[in-house]
C-alpha cells in the first residue's frame, strides 16, 4: 500500500483507542451523538429495504456498512455548509438535518423528496455518477467570492473517480482554492466492478497529488477517525487553503440497490473480516464505560417512533399532481407537449 497515504484510525477493530491521548478529545455527549446517528440511519436503512420489498417504496439504494463514514463526516459540518450527496448518502443528509419523511418520499419517486429544509443547503441526490463534483466546486467558489466561511462537502464512490467530472471538479477546486471537501467512500465496488478492476492506483487518496491538494486515507468504519479527519479538512478549507480529498475505506454490506443481486459478482465470504462500524463503536462504548443499557433502549424506542411517524407522513402525503410532469420543463410549453397534456388529462377524466 502507498506509504504516503497511510490509513488513519483512532480505534481498532476491538474498540480500543490506539492512542490514549485521543481520550482527551472525546466526551460522553459526543460519543452518544455519534452512536445515536449511526443507529438511527441503520434502522432507517433496514426499514426502507423492508418497505421496498412490500411495494411501499420504489427501488432503493442501501448503505449498511457505511454509517461511520456518513455520520462522522456530516456531523463535522456547520448548518450553513453545503452537502452534495449521491443516491447512497441519505444517511449523511439525514444526519445533517434532512427530513426523514422527505427522504422516504424521494425513494417513492416524489419530487418533494428532493426539497431540503430551509435551514440546510442540501442538493438533490445525484444519480448520474460524479456530476455533483463540479457543482460542489462551483458552490464552494461562490461562497469564497461572497466572503463567507461556508464550505461544501461532496460525496461519491470509488467508481466516480474514473469519470471525467471527478478530474474536472478537483482541477477547478484547486485552481481557485475553493473551500471544498471531496469525500470518497471507497466501498469496494463500482456497482458490480471491484475497485482493482476500474482503476490502477493503489489508493484513491493519492489522486490528490496530481492536483496539488492534500489527500487523506481514513478507516471509513472508524467514526472517530472520520469525524476528526473531516474536521481537519474543514478547518483547512475555512482558513482559505483550498480543498482536500478524503478516501474513507469502508464496505457496502448489501446490494448496490434493491434491484441488484450481489451474489452474481461477489463471493458470500467477501467482507467477512471487516468489523461492522456500529458493532465496533459499541465495543468502544463498553470498553470505556459509555454503554448504558437504559439509554440504549430509550434511544432505540425514540428512533423507532420517529421512523413510524415518517412512514405515516409519507403514506398520507397528498397524491402527486400529474400536471407537474408537463408544467415545469419549458417556459412556454410547445404545442406538441400541450396536446400530450390535454390527452392525458382527458384520459384521467374518463377513468
**Residues making up the chain, counted from first to last:** 351
Question: How far apart are the C-alpha atoms of 161 and 152, rounded to whole Å?
Answer: 18
User: CB–CB of 117/93 below 8 Å?
Assistant: no
Written as nine digits, the cell of 295 is: 439509554
Average pLDDT for the chain:
95
The per-residue pLDDT for 23 is 80
313 and 348 fall within a common domain: no
For residue 222, pLDDT over 90 is answered with yes
246 and 337 fall within a common domain: no
For residue 193, is it within any domain? yes
350 and 312 fall within a common domain: no
Q: How many domains does the chain have?
A: 2
Question: How far apart are the C-alpha atoms of 156 and 81, rounded to whole Å?
Answer: 17
CATH number at residue 40: 3.40.50.970
For residue 287, is it within any domain? yes
218 and 338 fall within a common domain: no
240 and 351 fall within a common domain: no
For residue 318, pLDDT over 70 is answered with yes
End-to-end CA distance of the chain: 64
Verify whether residue 252 is a known catalytic residue: yes
Helices 100-107 + 293-315 axis angle, to 10: 50
pLDDT band at 62 (very low <50, low <70, confident <90, very high): very high
327 and 289 fall within a common domain: no
Per annotation, catalytic residue among 42, 90, 252, 280:
252
272 and 348 fall within a common domain: no
For residue 134, is it within any domain? yes
220 and 337 fall within a common domain: no
Q: β-strands 193-194, 189-190: how paired?
A: antiparallel
The per-residue pLDDT for 351 is 54
User: CA torsion sign, 156 to 234 to 276 to 271?
Assistant: positive
For residue 12, is it within any domain? yes
The per-residue pLDDT for 322 is 84
Per annotation, catalytic residue among 40, 88, 256, 280:
256
Spell out the long-range contacts of 53-60 with Cβ–Cβ below 8 A and sequence spacing 24 or more.
53/258, 56/108, 56/311, 56/315, 57/104, 57/107, 57/108, 58/107, 58/108, 58/109, 59/107, 59/257, 59/258, 59/259, 60/107, 60/257, 60/258
For residue 2, is it within any domain? no
250 and 285 fall within a common domain: yes
For residue 215, is it within any domain? yes
The per-residue pLDDT for 337 is 94
For residue 1, pLDDT over 70 is answered with no
Verify whether residue 279 is a known catalytic residue: no
Minimal CA–CA distance to 103: which of 133, 53, 63? 63
The per-residue pLDDT for 154 is 98
323 versus 2: the higher-pLDDT residue is 323
Segment 160-217, tens digit of pLDDT: 999 999 999 999 999 999 999 999 999 999 999 999 999 999 999 999 999 999 999 9
User: CB–CB of 72/224 below 8 Å?
Assistant: yes
- Mean pLDDT along residues 53-73: 97
For residue 199, is it within any domain? yes
Question: How far apart are the C-alpha atoms of 345 and 72, rounded to whole Å?
Answer: 48
Which domain covers residue 329, as residue numbers?
321-351
pLDDT band at 2 (very low <50, low <70, confident <90, very high): low
165 and 252 fall within a common domain: yes
Beta partners for 155?
183
Q: β-strands 152-157, 193-194: how paired?
A: unpaired
Per annotation, catalytic residue among 265, 266, 288, 344:
265
For residue 1, is it within any domain? no
299 and 328 fall within a common domain: no
Percent of the chain predicted with pLDDT > 90: 90
Verify whether residue 42 is a known catalytic residue: no
Segment 99-152, tens digit of pLDDT: 999 999 999 999 899 999 999 999 999 999 999 999 999 999 999 999 999 999
Beta partners for 186?
249
175 and 230 fall within a common domain: yes
Amino acid at each position: 500500500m502507498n506509504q504516503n497515504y497511510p490509513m488513519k484510525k483512532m480505534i481498532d477493530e476491538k474498540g480500543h483507542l490506539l492512542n490514549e491521548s485521543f481520550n482527551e478529545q472525546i466526551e460522553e455527549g459526543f460519543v452518544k451523538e455519534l452512536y445515536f446517528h449511526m443507529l438511527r440511519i441503520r434502522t432507517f436503512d433496514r426499514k426502507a429495504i423492508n418497505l421496498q420489498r412490500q411495494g411501499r417504496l420504489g427501488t432503493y439504494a442501501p448503505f449498511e456498512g457505511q454509517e461511520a463514514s456518513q455520520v462522522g463526516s456530516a456531523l463535522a459540518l456547520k448548518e450553513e455548509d453545503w452537502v452534495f450527496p449521491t443516491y447512497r448518502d441519505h444517511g449523511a443528509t439525514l444526519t445533517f438535518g434532512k427530513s426523514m419523511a422527505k427522504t422516504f418520499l424521494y425513494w417513492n419517486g416524489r419530487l418533494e423528496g428532493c426539497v431540503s429544509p430551509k435551514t440546510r443547503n442540501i442538493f438533490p441526490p445525484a444519480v448520474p455518477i460524479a456530476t455533483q463534483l463540479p457543482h460542489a466546486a462551483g458552490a464552494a467558489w461562490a461562497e469564497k467570492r461572497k466572503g463567507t466561511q461556508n464550505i461544501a462537502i461532496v460525496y461519491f464512490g470509488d467508481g466516480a473517480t474514473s469519470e471525467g467530472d471527478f478530474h474536472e471538479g478537483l482541477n477547478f477546486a484547486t485552481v481557485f482554492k475553493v473551500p471544498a471537501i471531496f469525500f470518497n467512500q471507497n466501498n469496494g465496488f463500482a456497482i458490480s466492478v471491484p475497485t482493482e478492476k476500474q482503476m490502477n492506483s493503489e489508493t484513491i487518496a493519492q489522486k490528490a497529488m496530481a492536483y496539488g491538494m492534500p489527500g487523506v486515507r481514513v478507516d471509513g468504519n472508524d467514526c472517530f477517525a472520520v469525524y476528526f479527519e473531516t474536521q481537519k479538512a474543514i478547518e483547512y478549507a475555512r482558513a482559505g487553503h483550498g480543498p482536500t480529498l478524503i478516501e474513507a475505506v469502508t464496505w457496502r454490506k448489501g446490494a448496490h440497490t434493491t434491484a441488484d443481486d450481489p451474489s452474481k459478482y461477489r463471493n458470500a465470504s467477501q467482507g467477512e473480516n471487516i468489523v461492522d462500524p456500529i458493532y465496533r463503536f459499541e465495543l468502544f462504548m463498553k470498553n470505556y464505560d459509555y454503554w448504558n443499557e437504559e439509554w440504549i433502549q430509550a434511544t432505540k424506542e425514540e428512533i423507532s417512533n420517529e421512523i413510524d411517524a415518517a412512514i405515516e407522513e409519507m403514506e398520507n402525503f397528498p397524491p402527486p399532481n400529474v400536471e407537474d410532469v408537463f408544467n415545469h420543463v419549458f417556459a412556454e410549453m410547445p404545442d406538441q407537449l400541450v396536446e400530450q397534456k390535454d390527452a392525458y388529462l382527458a384520459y384521467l377524466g374518463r377513468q
